[in-house]
Amino acid sequence: MSQETQIIIDPTEYAAVTVLLRAAIAAMAGQHEILKPGAGQEWINAVSAACQIAIMDADISGGAPGMDVETFRRKTMEHVNRMLVGLAPQTGPGNPNN
């Protein structure tokens, strides 16, 4: 009999981490944007590519019950892309695009 590990995530913690991560990425992209127009979006794209490489290289064999490794990787990358889509480099406080 196999034993499954259950992970419980507090939705408010998940939301907080998501918001903090998006804000940090937007702020870093903004620093690149200040130096060179367009560089911020290039940096966001590079973050996405780095995430894809990390997901492909990760040992996620026990990712989720009832889900094969490739499906788990694909769904994880979909979540990453959803978090990054529409993210604009923040070049000042209170930027309404973020």
Contact criterion met (CB below 8 Å) for 25 and 41: no
CA–CA gap between residue 97 and residue 87 (Å, rounded): 7
Q: For residue 19, what pLDDT band results from cuts at 50, 70 and 90?
A: very high
pTM of the model: 0.75
pLDDT at position 66 is 79
pLDDT tens digits for range 66-76: 788 888 899 99
pLDDT tens digits for range 40-83: 999 999 999 999 999 999 887 766 777 888 888 999 999 999 88
